[in-house]
Structure 1
Amino acid sequence: MLLVVVVVGVGTVVRVPFVALGPGPTYDTLGAVDGTPVVAVEGTPTFPTAGHLNMTTVAVSDGVTALSALGFWLAPDRRLVPRDTVYPPGQTTEQVDEQNTAQFAASETNAELAAMAELALPTRATVAEIVSGSAAEGALREGDTIVSVRGVPVATPDQVAAALNGTAPGDPVNVVYERAGARAEARIVLGPSPDGGRGMLGVRPGVEPATGDITISLGDVGGPSAGLMFALAVVDKLTPGELNGGRFVAGTGTIDAAGTVGPIGGIPFKMLAARDAGATVFLVPDANCTEAAANAPDELQLVRVPTLDSAVASLEALNAGAPVPSCGP
């Protein structure tokens, strides 16, 4: 009895160098979380939506003890992986969380860019965030529209970056911006970039429709893998009809400004989470199709999506009863 007590006591205290992965929460990008719309569009006409377009996540359990590791190992919907695959050596948990937050912010911008390119909407560059301590602090504010940089008109984050080509830290540049309907000009001394290249303006540029605003809000969720579902929600809200045909559609995938859908990790867990939430269709990045097909839960239709345009086309095909690209045989 004493031996059992000692073994159990040690097993509940001693940590092992693993984390447990499993299905995480899913969020309807057409809905709201804690009363706040996940994707809100203001200042431009929108259309009613129905059904679901759920993004999916992977739950990560850290601080795994020897005894809990045994429980995770026996659980059919959990997997133990070395901790350093999630939290690289030399990086603190806080640093990894900061990186995930930055990736999430970038995915929001890319989702908006991709959606507006899909819909052929004109855009404007905005100040999404100001770097603390930069020269832009005090000159620009979050929400400002960036009209031009160094005399070059800009309408996207890429154009803001391109306008700084050939500059160096310490160079002064003129930035024309709009705030509350009024246009003004600021002279900003560029700061150093992390890679030692061109000068940095000290802001994270965002993008919005030429008229109106899009806001993506989802609490503490991090990482880039919700980009596809955010972009689809924007497309659905800005176009007539129900993109999902009223279905419960879930999915995952990174997205770049051109609308290319990239691979993600943990897709077996994301499919389980989607199925358990009620999804009947799951959108799979092209590069994840083999893994998805090998782990697909019953009654979940997998749709292969290499791009945002193909995702929109596949959902429209489902609504018409037409065949769609599949990850299955």
Structure 2
Amino acid sequence: MSWYSRLTLRGRTVVVGSVLTAVLVVIGVAVPVPYVAVGPGVTFDTLGSVDGTPVVSFSGDGVPTSVDDPVPAGGQLNMTTISVTDGVRLFQALGLWATGEYALAPREDYYPPDKSVDQVRAEDAQAFRDSQSSAEIAALNHLGYPQVVYVGTIPAGSPSAGVLEPQDQITGIDDTAVTDLASLSTALQGTSPGQVVGVKVLRGGAEQTVKVTLGDPPAGSTGQDATQPAERGYLGVSAVQRPTAPFTITISLEQIGGPSAGLMFTLGIIDKLGGQDLTGGKFIAGTGTMSIDGTVGPIGGVLLKLITARDAGATVFLVPERNCAEARTQVPEGLQLVKVATLDDALSALETIRAGGTPPGC
């Protein structure tokens, strides 16, 4: 370091400052921070196609011809997403934040330390598949498709364990037809513990009859097939009532994760199957989970989804009621916010918009 000792004070200051600056630059460029950058994502029209594949498609028997009706020019029903950028470096994070369209969030909020990235992605993918199923059920319920009864969960030790299977469709008990939960309850009236009944099910597309020895209902049971009076036979399944259609509904966006597209998928299915244009030629976007009973649930990242919708050209955005307070804080110019708590709210709002009116806003 003899060269350093021969430097003037100013020269030493320059050298030290340069080294520190170089170190800071290396850290800023190369060292990841424990944050993710959360920003606007992509948006897809549930009435449209991606790379030539319809987002929502139908196959099999009995598909209404309305699914092929052209969408009015400009009409869209778009689901929206956010983007989550992991592994960001310090300077990259600061640059994204400075744009005003990204937020920095602790990494553990999106990738919990007790789960791998692959586990998180798998859970998000499953939540997305569940949202598709709920959207389909809610849409078919709204359109009045016939109801059927399925086997849901089967508790361990249940009289039906090892005999019935989850997703069996129950069509009858002995000589009594089962078409809904009420008829299942009726079919079990007059039975008693220990009695053997023939449960008719559709399994894998084929009808068969399986024998179940009814048991004693558990204390305090409130299941659909249990049990007042107490001596009534207990089938021991959690029965689920769902609408059914002779065709298959397919949603082709496997790369999306999470449940927040449920509302827009439901509206897209109703638009195609119901034979009525819901858009009125307007670019409508939105977000919200969908329960099978038609309840619209809140989601995360609503402000970023508003930006996603605005940048894509949407003029109306359907906001879950419980997200309205946050959405009001930063409304992109030219984007009308519409408050929805249920599927009926959303359909009523779209009807009002088509008629030229103003639906309830946030």
CA contact (8 A) 1:208 1:214 kept: no
What is the aligned counterpart of 2:45 among 28, 33, 49?
Answer: 28
Give the AA of the match of 1:261.
Answer: V
* 2:328 alignment partner, SS class: helix
* 2:274 alignment partner, SS class: coil
CA contact (8 A) 1:19 1:60 kept: yes
Aligned in 2, Cα 1:187/1:32: closer, same or farther, shift over 3 Å? farther
Tell me which moved more, 210-219 or 267-276: 210-219
* 1:70 alignment partner, SS class: helix
**Which residue of 2 is the match for residue 184 of structure 1?**
208
**Which residue of 2 is the match for residue 69 of structure 1?**
93
Tell me which moved more, 292-301 or 33-42: 33-42
1:292 corresponds to 2:327: yes
Aligned partners of 1:15, 1:149: CA distance in 2, in Å? 61
1:146 corresponds to 2:169: yes
Give the AA of the match of 1:71.
Answer: G
1:7 corresponds to 2:7: no
CA RMSD of aligned residues (A): 3.6
Aligned in 2, Cα 1:237/1:25: closer, same or farther, shift over 3 Å? same
Provide TM-score, normalisation by structure 1.
Answer: 0.78
Aligned partners of 2:101, 2:241: CA distance in 1, in Å? 38
Aligned in 2, Cα 1:251/1:177: closer, same or farther, shift over 3 Å? same
**Which residue of 1 is the match for residue 120 of structure 2?**
96
Larger Rg: 2
What is the aligned counterpart of 1:84 among 78, 96, 108?
Answer: 108
Deviations 1:81-111 (A, max 9, x none): 1111112231221221121112111111111
* 1:87 alignment partner, SS class: coil
Aligned in 2, Cα 1:112/1:290: closer, same or farther, shift over 3 Å? same
Alpha-carbon distance, 1:5 to partner: 3.0
* Paired residue total: 296
CA contact (8 A) 1:104 1:224 kept: yes
Aligned partners of 1:186, 1:96: CA distance in 2, in Å? 39
Alpha-carbon distance, 1:15 to partner: 1.5
**Which residue of 1 is the match for residue 274 of structure 2?**
239
Provide TM-score, normalisation by structure 2.
Answer: 0.71
The percentage of counterpart residues that share the same residue type is: 45
Aligned partners of 1:71, 1:207: CA distance in 2, in Å? 49
Give the AA of the match of 1:4.
Answer: T
CA contact (8 A) 2:29 2:92 kept: yes
* 1:231 alignment partner, SS class: helix
CA contact (8 A) 1:126 1:208 kept: no
**Which residue of 1 is the match for residue 64 of structure 2?**
45
